[in-house]
Every structure is written in structure tokens, then in C-alpha cells.
């Protein structure tokens, strides 16, 4: 009687452990997947990994790096996508290769004709490390460095992202869907353009569409600032007045603190005064006006408003307001 055996392989650890690290810059996701070999007493550079030859930058199948948006590598452009990462080690300079083929085994099937990009970098002396690793270092708002360390060598390359343009492209794409039909989506895109002082004509189109969908303090305020950037101060003032008309207590309060943060103290005081006039029974409007006067150095008015706030405030706020009052009384 013949025995029939089931086909298949059971899971077991490999000699080179698989690893993965990721980093986000702006809205760009960067991920590298690799297998991590060990030194195991071997001579690595120049022997196990020969100088001047293409190396798979890890073990086993391709080391794969992916970018969710376009980036620059050491100042050179690279489109979004997945790439097989290869390296050519040398004593003084290393070549970093991004291949459009990321599905092959190691570098055995590497073809230079499939290169998407090559850059050259300098290796660094590093403390002894038994296992090969990749890590992201020195992250900034628009860049990060990817470092490979193994044995006593470190090799890295700079990845940069044009964050404003990348975000704008993403928003533009998102606004081709359902988000175009709510006031928040076009408003957010226009507000981003305003804050970065870019794409202002399209931003005006977006904000007008947002206002058509629903008139709010937020989108009217952005339109006012866009008009002011165009030099239309009369139009900006008209729209700003309308924005203040439709604003509720919280919106006015938030706007006032934004003005304070921008060191526009008198403008903030004017906004908080509007809030006091509209919502005279709210403790918070007096507290905020007190903060603005306090920052502006008008301690007498600050004290008066803090005391009014204290008389109306819930118990949870009384201790904080009392502390502010005591600080001011010491100055007077």
C-alpha cells in the first residue's frame, strides 16, 4: 500500500531575519523591507560582499524600498513607487541603485537597464554591529536620512519631499471625489494654499465653492485673507465683516487666540470685545478678553474682566482665574 504525503513547508526561522522600517514625511510614507544577515565572524567588506560589484543590500530576495509620493534622493528626482534597492560598495564611494525590478531574488537578476536612479554617497566608519539594519535618522519636516549599518560600516542617503506640492497634489486628487461636495474639503485645500502662499487662483475657486455649499466663519475668513493677498482690501474687509456676523462664540474665541499667537494683540482684543457684547452671560468671553488685555500690558482692564469671569465661572475654573487675578494685583 502506497502512502500519500501532504505537500507543503512548515514555518521555520531563516538564517537572516526579515525586517521592515517605515517613516512618514509630510504625507509621504517611506518603507524599506529587507532580510538582515549576521557577520558570524566573517570578513564582510571586500570578501563576502566584494568591492565594485552589485550587492542586494541585505540577504535573500530583493531589499525593497517604497515611496508613496515622488521624492528626491541626494537631490535627484525619483517617482513614487516600489524599487529594488542595490548597492555597489567601494572603499571610498558607494553607488546606491533604485531598480524598477523589485521582485527578483537578490541581485542575481539585476539589469542596469532597469535602473530608475543611481546616486553616489560616502561610507562612514561606525561601531561594530553584528546584524545588518536600516534606520531612519534626523527626521525633519521635509527630509529624513536612511542609514544602513553592518559590521563597522554605515552608509546613508538623504530623502527629501516637497511637502507643500505633495499635499496640494493629494488634496487636488481627493477633491475629485465626494469631498468636493462638502464645504470642509474645498475650504481645507484653500486654507492650505493660503497658509503656504501658493496656488492662490485655484484656492479662490475652491473657497468660493465651499461658500456656495455653506457659508461659515472659517471659509469666509479664508476668502477675506485671499482677497487681501490680491490687494483687494475693500473686498477683504467686506467678506471679513460677513465672517464675523456668522461666527459663533467658540469660533470668535478661537480666532481671537490665533491673533494673539500672531502677536496681533489689539486685533485680538477687538474680537474678544465682540464676543463679550454678543455673549454677556458667558464666563469664557470675559476670561479671554482678560487674557488679551493681560498680554497687552493693560492690567487694569485685565483685572476687571478676570473678576467678571470669576463671578460667572464654574467651580472647576475658579482656582485658575483667581491665580491670574492674584498675579495682576501684585503688579498694580
- 152 part of a folded domain: yes
Write down the pLDDT at residue 260. 96
Say if residue 39 is in the same domain as residue 73.
Answer: yes
CB distance 239 to 219 below 8 Å: no
- Per the domain annotation, does 5 fall within a domain? no
Residue 12, domain member (yes or no): no
Residues 121 and 37 in one domain: yes
Task: Please report the pLDDT score of residue 237 as a whole number.
Answer: 96
Domain boundary residue among 195, 218, 246?
Answer: 246
Q: 274 and 193: one domain?
A: no
Shared-domain flag, residues 204 and 306: no
Give a yes or no: residue 305 inside a domain: yes
User: Domain check: are 227 and 265 in the same one?
Assistant: no
In degrees rounded to 5, what are phi and psi of residue 158? Answer: -85, 130
**71 and 172 share one domain:** no
Q: Tell me whether residue 316 is in a domain.
A: yes
Sheet architecture: strand order including 63-67: 17-25, 28-36, 63-67, 81-88, 94-99, 115-121
Residue 7: predicted pLDDT: 58
Residue 9: per-residue pLDDT: 72
C-alpha cell at 252: 470668535
Q: Which residues contact 292 (CB under 8 A, 6 or more apart)?
A: 256, 260, 265, 268, 269, 272
Asked if the structure places residue 8 within a domain, the reply is: no
pTM of the full structure: 0.82
Which residues are paired to 78 by β-bridges?
Answer: 71
Question: Are 170 and 153 found together in one domain?
Answer: no
> Which range of residues forms the domain containing residue 285?
253-332
Look at residue 4 in the predicted model and tell me its pLDDT: 53
Helix (H) or strand (E) holding 78: strand 76-78
The number of distinct structural domains making up the chain is 3
The confidence score (pLDDT) of residue 6 equals 54
Domain-ending residue, one of 219, 246, 273: 246
The CATH number covering residue 225 comes to 1.25.40
- C-alpha of 191 from chain center: 16
Same domain for 220 and 274? no
130 and 209 housed in the same domain: no
Residues 271 and 332 occupy one common structural domain:
yes
Rg (CA), the chain: 30
The pLDDT value recorded for residue 107 is 86
**Among 131, 161, 191, where does a domain finish?**
161
Residue 242 inside a domain? The answer is yes
pLDDT tens for each residue of the chain, 332 residues long: 555 555 567 766 777 899 999 999 999 999 999 999 999 999 999 999 999 999 999 999 999 999 999 999 999 999 999 999 999 999 999 999 999 999 998 889 999 999 999 999 999 999 999 999 999 999 999 999 999 999 999 999 999 999 999 999 999 999 999 999 999 999 999 999 999 999 999 999 999 999 999 999 999 999 999 999 999 999 999 999 999 999 999 999 999 999 999 999 999 999 999 999 999 999 999 999 999 999 999 999 999 999 999 999 999 999 999 999 999 998 88
- Flag whether 239 is in a domain: yes
Q: Which of 275, 199, 271 is nearest to 240 (CA)?
A: 271
In terms of phi and psi (left: phi > 0; alpha: psi -120 to 50; beta: otherwise), the region of 143 is: beta
Whether residues 76 and 149 share a domain: the answer is yes
151 and 31 together in one domain: yes
Amino acid at each position: 500500500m502506497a502512502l500519500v504525503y501532504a505537500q507543503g513547508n512548515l514555518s521555520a526561522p531563516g538564517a537572516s531575519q526579515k525586517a521592515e522600517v517605515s517613516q512618514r514625511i509630510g504625507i509621504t510614507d517611506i518603507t524599506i523591507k529587507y532580510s538582515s544577515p549576521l557577520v558570524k565572524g566573517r570578513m564582510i567588506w571586500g570578501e563576502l560582499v566584494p568591492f565594485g560589484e552589485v550587492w542586494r543590500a541585505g540577504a535573500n530576495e530583493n531589499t525593497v524600498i517604497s515611496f508613496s509620493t515622488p521624492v528626491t534622493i541626494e537631490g535627484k528626482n525619483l517617482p513614487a513607487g516600489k524599487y529594488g534597492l542595490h548597492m555597489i560598495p567601494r572603499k571610498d564611494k558607494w553607488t546606491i541603485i533604485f531598480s524598477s525590478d523589485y521582485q527578483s531574488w537578490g541581485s542575481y537578476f539585476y539589469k542596469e537597464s532597469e535602473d530608475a536612479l543611481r546616486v553616489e554617497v560616502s561610507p562612514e566608519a561606525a561601531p561594530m554591529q553584528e546584524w545588518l539594519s536600516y534606520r531612519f535618522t534626523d527626521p525633519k519636516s521635509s527630509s529624513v536620512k536612511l542609514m544602513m549599518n553592518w559590521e563597522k560600516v554605515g552608509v546613508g542617503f538623504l530623502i527629501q519631499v516637497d511637502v507643500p506640492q505633495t499635499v496640494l497634489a493629494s488634496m487636488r486628487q481627493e477633491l475629485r471625489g465626494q469631498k468636493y461636495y462638502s464645504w470642509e474639503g474645498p475650504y481645507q485645500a484653500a486654507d492650505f494654499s493660503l497658509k503656504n502662499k501658493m496656488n492662490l487662483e485655484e484656492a479662490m475657486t475652491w473657497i468660493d465653492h465651499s461658500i456656495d455649499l455653506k457659508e461659515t466663519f472659517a471659509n469666509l475668513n479664508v476668502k477675506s485673507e485671499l482677497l487681501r493677498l490680491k490687494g483687494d482690501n475693500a473686498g477683504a474687509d467686506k467678506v471679513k465683516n460677513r465672517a464675523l456676523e456668522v461666527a459663533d462664540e467658540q469660533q470668535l474665541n478661537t480666532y481671537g487666540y490665533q491673533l494673539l499667537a500672531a502677536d496681533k494683540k489689539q486685533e485680538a482684543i477687538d474680537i474678544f470685545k465682540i464676543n463679550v457684547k454678543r455673549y454677556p452671560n458667558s464666563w469664557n468671553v470675559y476670561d479671554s478678553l482678560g487674557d488679551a488685555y493681560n498680554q497687552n500690558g493693560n492690567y487694569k482692564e485685565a483685572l476687571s474682566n478676570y473678576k467678571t469671569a470669576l463671578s460667572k465661572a464654574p467651580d472647576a475654573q475658579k482656582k485658575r482665574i483667581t491665580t491670574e487675578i492674584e498675579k495682576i494685583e501684585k503688579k498694580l
